[in-house]
Amino acid sequence: MKDVLYLAWRYLAHHRIKTAILVISITLIVYLPAGLNVLVNRSAAQLTARANRTPLLLGAQGSSLELVLNSLYFESDAPELLSWAEAQRVADSGLAEAIPLYVRFRARGQPIVGTSLGYFDFRGLELAAGRSMAILGECVVGAATAEKLGVGPGDSVVSSPESVFDLAGAYPLKMRVAGVLAPSYSPDDEAVFVDVKTAWVIEGLVHGHQDLAAPEAASAVLDRQGDTITANASVVQYNEISEENIDSFHFHGDLSGYPLTAVLAVPESDKSGVILMGRYEGEQEPIQIVRPIAVMDDLLDTVFTVHGFVVAALGLVGVATVAVAGLVFLLSLRLRRREIETMIKIGGSRAAVGSLLVSEMAAVLVLGTLLAGGLTLLTSRFGAVAIQTFLLG
């Protein structure tokens, strides 16, 4: 058998291009359905795991999928906004803990998540270094973000402007890193967490600037009407919150009208959850309340339906590829008829000659299947991350 395998190897090595094409074909027809299965199952498990751990989510009426993707995975555009008053409404109901979420801004590509300290307890996030954010302008970064941006406690992270062409927009805010989270292997690793008020500072709703009553600000003052002072754009706005200027930061307007992207509601009990949901059932209700797992299941139903079609199509392609590979093999047998006859004439046993041909085909199949297996393993390891990047990103 050793000699037959040697001859088979010599044949395959000599016809390396033909062999490579056959191996790649086999690899693809095995890998594509297997890899897709692994990818879909892994991604589904990862997506539903996080959704499962998030009981209820409140947001403005609109796309529930956008709301869930933005609030749980910090992906997708910001959904329709709701007001801080809605978080208060949930908290005041006594049915659930309300965790505000304002996920709209980014810092060098990383999502800035405006929330409260309750979020860390709810997600079970732990600090690997430093401390939680304590004052306005501080942030806590996820493990992956700390690594990507190369920051740790004491360093700074600057928010990115929403649009560089928006001259009236908010200035970038330089935030001090108070702490770094331990890896949680979830989207939280990618986030920059700030208090929701700091997120409002980034938006410009809360801001600090030089004292307009001070003599050095006189040139910026346009009008004085009692306590109301109107200034022009030359007034110095602070783009970093420090001990010296923190007292100058102030809110404009009614806090209850300040925006959020979602409110994460953690009910006291199942019954509380049901009651809370009932309160948002009205047809005219501007707020929607969703169970994230139900939204993700809807999404996955669609994905699995498409997946089924794709696997069926790949199956047909696989059958066609196997047929073509078989045809190639049969044509190759015709081309090698003289070679086979010569081996028989000089005394080669039919078993040896047959084994040689079968070994060649088996080697191609085994090599193709091994490669497909390797690719499937890689997919099971890195595929879920890839699908989050390509499907949700």
List contacts with another protein (CB under 8 A).
3-4, 6-7, 10-11, 13-15, 338-339, 342-353, 356
Tell me whether residue 6 or residue 251 sits nearer to another protein (CB atom).
Answer: 6
CB 26 → another protein: shortest distance, Å? 21
Nearer to another protein among residue 255 and residue 340 (C-beta): 340
Q: What CA–CA distance (Å, rounded) separates 294 from 261?
A: 19
Residue 386 parent element (H or E): helix 350-387
List the one residue out of 59, 106, 56 whose CA is nearest residue 81.
59
Q: Tokens 């949930």 — which residue?
A: 90
Q: How far is the C-alpha of 80 from the C-alpha of 260, rounded, in Å?
A: 9
Question: Nearest distance from residue 351's CB to another protein, in Å?
Answer: 7
139: its two tokens: 């942030």
Choice between 308 and 354, CB closer to another protein = 354
Which of 163, 53, 184, 187 lies closest to 113 in space, CA to CA? 187
Which residues pair with residue 207 across a beta bridge?
250
Q: Furthest-apart CA pair in the chain: how many Å? A: 115
Q: State which residue, 20 or 319, has the beta carbon closest to another protein.
A: 20
Question: In the Cβ-directed half-sphere of 45, how many Cα atoms lie within 13 Å?
Answer: 9
Q: Tell me the closest approach of the beta carbon of residue 14 to another protein, in angstroms.
A: 3
**Distance in Å, CB of 339 to another protein, minimum:** 6
CA distance 60 to 197: 20
Between 21 and 128, whose beta carbon lies closer to another protein?
A: 21
The amino acid at residue 167 is L
> For another protein, which is the closer residue by CB, 263 or 353?
353
Closer residue to another protein (CB): 342 or 389: 342
| Structure token digits, residue 279 | 């309160």
- Closest of 131, 181, 137 to residue 159, by C-alpha: 137
Q: How far is the CB of 186 from another protein (least distance, A)?
A: 54
58 close to 265: Cβ distance less than 8 angstroms: yes
Minimum distance from CB of 24 to another protein (Å)?
A: 21
Least gap, CB of 336 to another protein (angstroms): 9
